[in-house]
């Protein structure tokens, strides 16, 4: 897909992977519309990179619906949708409140599905487009104390694969991105810092570069870094061995 001259909608654009992707798309010649909650960060991104930024909170159903029904139709037709916005929670399942669970489901699952549903008719009519959903290695392996987060990212990954198959032959594709640990403020917001010495967190720009290649090459799945395909394969092929290794090494 030719990125230059396209219109891209990026969620979670005020920080982390979303911000890096918005900048990369803009530098590649796309007209970028970024959504986020941090207004000062959005303003800075707009001023320094010429990106159109809109303050939108994807968690409240009414605000998401208002954007889809009233704001999205006023934007140029979207050729690329990158769902980067995400919410985390680090705690045993028993300590997840109903509000915690609803937030994780709303931001990580409902919003990406609603936005994809909104932009797909135009993409199919034009015969071109790509939806990129940023999931997580947690959604493939499952992480203790992040059970609900893992479940939401797993759901997003399966949704992406199913939708990609559904759209076969239309000129529209779907990419699911499976990043490992990324150096963002996500860990602070989830309620616990990342305190392991290995693997070392990746800069969000590396994930953004992988996303750009996936869009340009019409790839259906991206795992960043690539070596994470080893534990993914091991868990799916030898789950008993993987479980023992997980208990030994964490």
| Tokens read off for 72 | 């999205």
Provide the 3-class DSSP secondary structure of residue 221. strand
Residue pair 178/229 in contact (Cβ under 8 Å)? The answer is: no
Provide the 3-class DSSP secondary structure of residue 223. strand
Closest CA to 215 of 77, 21, 23: 21
Query: Is the bond into 199 cis (omega within 30 degrees of 0)?
Result: yes
Give the C-alpha distances (Å, rounded to integers) separating 35 from 6, 67, 84, 145, 151. Answer: 17, 10, 10, 29, 24
**For the stretch 84-121, what's the b/e string if a residue is b when 16 or more beta carbons lie within 10 angstroms of its beta carbon?**
bbbbbbbbeeeebeeebbebbbbbbbbbbebbbebbbe
Catalytic, out of 67, 149, 159, 186 = 149
| Tokens read off for 35 | 């959504």
Does residue 194 have an active-site annotation?
no
What backbone torsions phi and psi does residue 129 show, to the nearest 5 degrees? Answer: 150, 165
Cβ burial, residue 247 (10 Å; 0-12/13-18/19+): exposed
Q: Which residue has the tokens 């489901």?
A: 105
Residues identified as active-site = 149
């Amino acid at each position: 897909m030719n990125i230059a001259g396209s219109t891209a909608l990026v969620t979670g654009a005020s920080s982390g992977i979303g911000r890096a992707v918005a900048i990369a798309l803009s530098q590649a010649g796309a007209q970028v519309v970024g959504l986020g909650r941090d207004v000062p960060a959005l303003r800075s991104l707009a001023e320094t990179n010429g990106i159109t930024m809109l303050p939108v909170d994807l968690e409240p159903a009414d605000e998401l619906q208002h954007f889809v029904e009233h704001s999205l139709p006023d934007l140029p037709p979207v050729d690329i949708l990158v769902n980067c916005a995400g919410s985390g929670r680090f705690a045993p399942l028993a300590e997840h409140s109903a509000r915690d669970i609803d937030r994780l489901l709303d931001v990580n699952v409902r919003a990406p599905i609603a936005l994809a549903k909104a932009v797909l008719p135009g993409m199919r009519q034009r015969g071109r487009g790509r939806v990129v959903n940023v999931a997580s290695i947690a959604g493939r392996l499952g992480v203790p104390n992040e059970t609900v987060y893992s479940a939401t990212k797993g759901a997003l990954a399966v949704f992406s694969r199913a939708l990609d198959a559904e759209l076969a032959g239309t000129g529209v594709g779907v990419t699911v991105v499976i990043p490992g640990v990324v150096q963002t403020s996500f860990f602070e917001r989830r309620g616990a810092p990342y305190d392991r010495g290995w693997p070392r967190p990746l800069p969000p720009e590396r994930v953004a570069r992988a996303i750009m290649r996936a869009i340009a090459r019409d790839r259906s799945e991206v795992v960043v870094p690539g070596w994470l395909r080893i534990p993914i394969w091991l868990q799916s092929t030898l789950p008993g061995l993987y479980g023992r290794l997980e208990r030994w090494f964490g």
